[in-house]
Amino acid sequence: MNKYQHEHIALITGASAGIGLELTRKLLSENWHVVAVNRSDFPADDMSLHNAVKSGSLRIYKTDDLADFASLRLTLEEIKSKERRIDILFNNAGGSFPELSYSKQGREKHYELMTVVPYIILMELKELLKNSRLKTVINTSSSALKFTKQFSIEVLEHPKTFRKLLGPYATSKLALSLWTEAVASQLAKDDIKIRSVDPGGNNTIRKGKQSGLPVVVEVLMKLFFSPPTLGANKLYEGALGEHHHESGVFLLKGRVAELKFKDQARNVLERIQAIYEYEFLVS
């Protein structure tokens, strides 16, 4: 039970590529232990990661699809059976999809993966956070949320139209940051702090995979955006930097930023809490 009692432990979803991969590398280089929740494998040619797996400082939990509650449940049960605590939970998995698609539960997939699932992961792993020293949750959000013109839970779950990046992706990230703000007072009872963080403009395009980005944005990303190390550093600072004592805030460019549609924060939280209680827990 006390095998890793002196090390800091971070759980990262989506740790095998992009920002999550660079954050994994950064934390391992600073002697953290990383619990990685991935759908895909880590790069086969990265010997430092292979050595970390051998030493036990990188522990991998595979899942077929985080947005599939049956698959997610199995993964979380395995984590709870094997891990004893989590100092920082990085809800990082996500991405922009090229077309309108739905989860196995019947909700729009950006919303399911990037708004609902992070809440479920938090609730299911809450006891592991309570057992730790840092008791911190970082939700990866996006500055794209600023472009949201209209907002309602019904549209989040079943959009009538689709627009790359500035449609369901942006509104789902806004909803994530809204429930992050709303849940902070509840988590404070257990001394858990939670923040949502914009990782900035990163070139996270993966060869051979549809990005779900508008063509213009994809071209600009390839030419001008920073490598994913930028985003990893933003999430790291969001967790351990100058705002580490604050909870419920949205960090944009390292500063606390105001959210649009704040009057909807409680509604979003109540809706995803209901999904968790009446769908995830009972099925």
Tell me the C-alpha distance between 264 and 255, whole Å. Answer: 22
- Answer whether residue 262 is part of any domain: yes
For residue 126, what pLDDT band results from cuts at 50, 70 and 90?
very high
- Answer whether residue 35 is part of any domain: yes
pLDDT score recorded for residue 214: 66
pLDDT score recorded for residue 269: 98
Q: How many residues belong to the chain?
A: 283
- Answer whether residue 97 is part of any domain: yes
Higher-confidence position of 250 and 227? 250
pLDDT score recorded for residue 95: 85
* Exposure of 63 in the CB half-sphere (CA atoms within 13 A): 25
Classify residue 197 by its DSSP letter: E
Give the tens place of pLDDT for each residue, 166-207: 899 999 999 999 999 999 999 999 999 999 999 987 666 656
pLDDT score recorded for residue 77: 98
Tell me the C-alpha distance between 89 and 35, whole Å. Answer: 9
Contact of 272 with 111, CB cutoff 8 Å: no
- Answer whether residue 100 is part of any domain: yes
Query: Tokens 């090229």 belong to which residue?
Result: 98
Residue type, 158: H
- Answer whether residue 147 is part of any domain: yes
For residue 32, what pLDDT band results from cuts at 50, 70 and 90?
very high
- The CATH number of the domain holding residue 24 is 3.40.50.720
- Answer whether residue 174 is part of any domain: yes
The shares of helix, strand and coil residues in the chain, as percent rounded to the nearest 5, are 45, 15, 40
pLDDT score recorded for residue 124: 98
For residue 213, what pLDDT band results from cuts at 50, 70 and 90?
low
Tell me the C-alpha distance between 119 and 267, whole Å. Answer: 14
pLDDT score recorded for residue 215: 66
Residue 16 pLDDT more than 50?
yes
Contact of 141 with 115, CB cutoff 8 Å: no
Mean pLDDT across 273-279:
98
Q: Find, among 118, 71, 61, 128, the residue nearest to 90 by Cα.
A: 118
- Answer whether residue 253 is part of any domain: yes
Contact of 42 with 249, CB cutoff 8 Å: no
Mean pLDDT for the chain overall: 92
* Number of domains, the chain: 1
* Lowest pLDDT segment from 85-89, 147-151, 185-189, 246-250: 147-151
Classify residue 119 by its DSSP letter: H
- Answer whether residue 218 is part of any domain: no
Residue 2 pLDDT more than 70?
no
- Which phi and psi angles does 257 have, rounded to 5°? -120, 150
Domain of residue 122 covers: 9-202+228-280
